[in-house]
Amino acid sequence: MKRLVSAGERLSAYAIKAAGAVIGLARTRLADAVRQRSSEVVRERSSEVVREREMLAAIVEQSSDAVIASTLDGIITAWNGGAERIYGYTAGEVIGKPITDLLPDGAGPGLRLALDRLAAGEQIQQDETIRVRRDGTTFVVSVIVSPIRDAAGVVVAAAATERDVTEHLQARERSARAARLESLGQLAGGVAHDFNNLLAIIMNYADFVAEEVTGEAADDLARIRDAADRARSLTGQLLLFAKREPTQVEVVDLNDVVVQGEELLSRTIGEDIRLVCRRCDRPVPVHANRGRLDQILLNLVINARDAMPTGGVVVAETDIAQLTDPPGHWARLTVSDTGTGMTAEVRDRLFEPFFTTKPADQGTGLGLATVYGIVGDAGGHIGVESELGIGTTFRILLPVAADEAARLDDDATGEPPRPGHGERVLVVEDDEQVRDLVVRLLDSHGYRTVPVDEDDLGPREPGRRSAPGHRRGAA
């Protein structure tokens, strides 16, 4: 019996040991599995971090903005593809170089203050600041510079994100300039319209009186008429600038304008200035008024002459250009000179009426304003490039006529107006003096007139009214 008990106890002990070994083995295998899984998780997370960092690096590298890192001493340490495209430097050319190489002269003190602010943990933002490209040209960027901290939170470097806003600013300036010229045109047009009515009265009544007087009185009336003619010419230019002057258009070849104007202009500009006219090798047809195109060329050539007091060269040339801004095919007239050039301030105000840099007795300031109005009225664009001491170039773009094979008809009849034969004409005009003048002219040419004040026609349609400074009238 005792032997049986001892055998059972030994079996139990063996079983307990075996169970302990199994449990230990299971624990070991479990621990190994946990460690393996932990290692896999760490590796997966590390791979995710690497992928995220690679993705972030790719985003930074491919960004159109310049991303630049530097030390707190202003030494460049990182340079992305956007910076290379904007500045023109490769990363190998600038990393390790001072960031002052990218700044205009005299920017050193400002940079030092900015680096001190970054070292103190402050972020810096500038909407417009100047930078310098590899070729030496300047441009404008908006920039945000942030401090870079290490694991302990200490600022150790700086990172800047820069965006080239030069084209945006230029477009904004062009829009503001166009809006300013448009408002000036509305003001000038309103004044010129009313003034033109007064001049019509003065000139025509002067003609009436001139038919009845002789001697000194007739000479005085001739002087009055001459002064009124000059005033009417000025108001005509103002109306052209304001695009209120009616005109008749036809198909005109710009080549003919330049070639036919060469002889007259050559005599006008003097012997010390050489005029070179280059015509396109094919027709350059536009829908425009021929007289106004002649006026454009004359004004630009005279303006070039005045910019070359010691002589020089004026080049007028035509071509058809295919452009993306503005898009399409355009008839282009280019007038260049080798004159004194102009400053940016003068260039910005160049097309404003009555703005001139000439002495008071040498210009009215309406020549280029008239050109601007004519070009705009024809649906075109005008641009100017100028550099002091180098010269100035005007480029005029006009829509190409739809039918390039159209031929000009030079058989203008120029017949005088035919007299009336008692036809009845209703004259509607709210200005009594203008109405009386029109009635007198029509009566003297054989018509029968019925004058009516505009207010006698009754109220206008609801919501309709005349434009400011603009009178309604009809004959």
Cis amide linkage into residue 104, ω under 30° from 0:
no
Is the distance from CB of 453 to CB of 472 less than 8 angstroms?
no
* Residue 121 backbone class (left: φ over 0; alpha: ψ -120 to 50; beta: rest): left
CA distance linking residue 278 with residue 259, whole number of Å? 8
280, 318 contact by CB (below 8 A): yes
Task: Identify the pLDDT of residue 181.
Answer: 61
Q: What is the pLDDT of residue 430?
A: 76
Run of H or E including 443: helix 432-444
**Which token pair is 175?**
């829009």
Instruction: For residue 213, give every residue at least 6 positions away whose Cβ sits within 8 Å of its Cβ, in sequence order, or none.
Output: 221
Q: How far apart are CA 449 and CA 414, in angstroms?
A: 26
Distance (Å, whole) CA 83 – CA 170: 21
Residues 122, 159 contacting (CB under 8 angstroms): no
Using only C-alpha atoms, the chain has a radius of gyration, in whole angstroms, of 41
Contact between residue 67 and residue 161 where contact means Cβ atoms under 8 Å apart: yes
What is residue 468's predicted lDDT score, i.e. its pLDDT?
36
Gap between the Cα atoms of 159 and 68, Å rounded: 6
- The predicted structure's pLDDT at residue 231: 76
Question: pTM here?
Answer: 0.46
Sheet holding 381-387, edge to edge: 273-278, 312-324, 327-337, 391-399, 381-387
What is the rounded distance in angstroms from the CA atom of residue 312 to the CA atom of residue 308?
6
* Contact assessment for residue 392 and residue 386, using Cβ atoms and an 8 Å cutoff: yes
Euclidean distance between the first and the last CA atom of the chain, given in angstroms as a whole number = 148
- Contact of 313 with 274, CB cutoff 8 Å: yes
By residue count, the chain amounts to 475
CB 403 within 8 A of CB 396: no
List 312's β-bridge partners, or say none: 273
* pLDDT at 133 (0 to 100): 93
Cross-strand pairs, 426: 450
What whole-number distance in Å separates Cα of residue 190 and Cα of residue 197? 11
Residue 358 Cα to chain centre, angstroms: 26
Burial class (CB in 10 A: 0-12, 13-18, 19+), 58: exposed
Per DSSP, the residues of 250-285 read: EEEEHHHHHHHHHHHHHHHH-TTEEEEEE--SS--E
The confidence score (pLDDT) of residue 411 equals: 38
Which residue positions in the chain have pLDDT lower than 70?
Answer: 1-27, 29-35, 37-50, 52-54, 56-57, 60, 177-192, 234, 236-247, 359-365, 403-418, 454-475
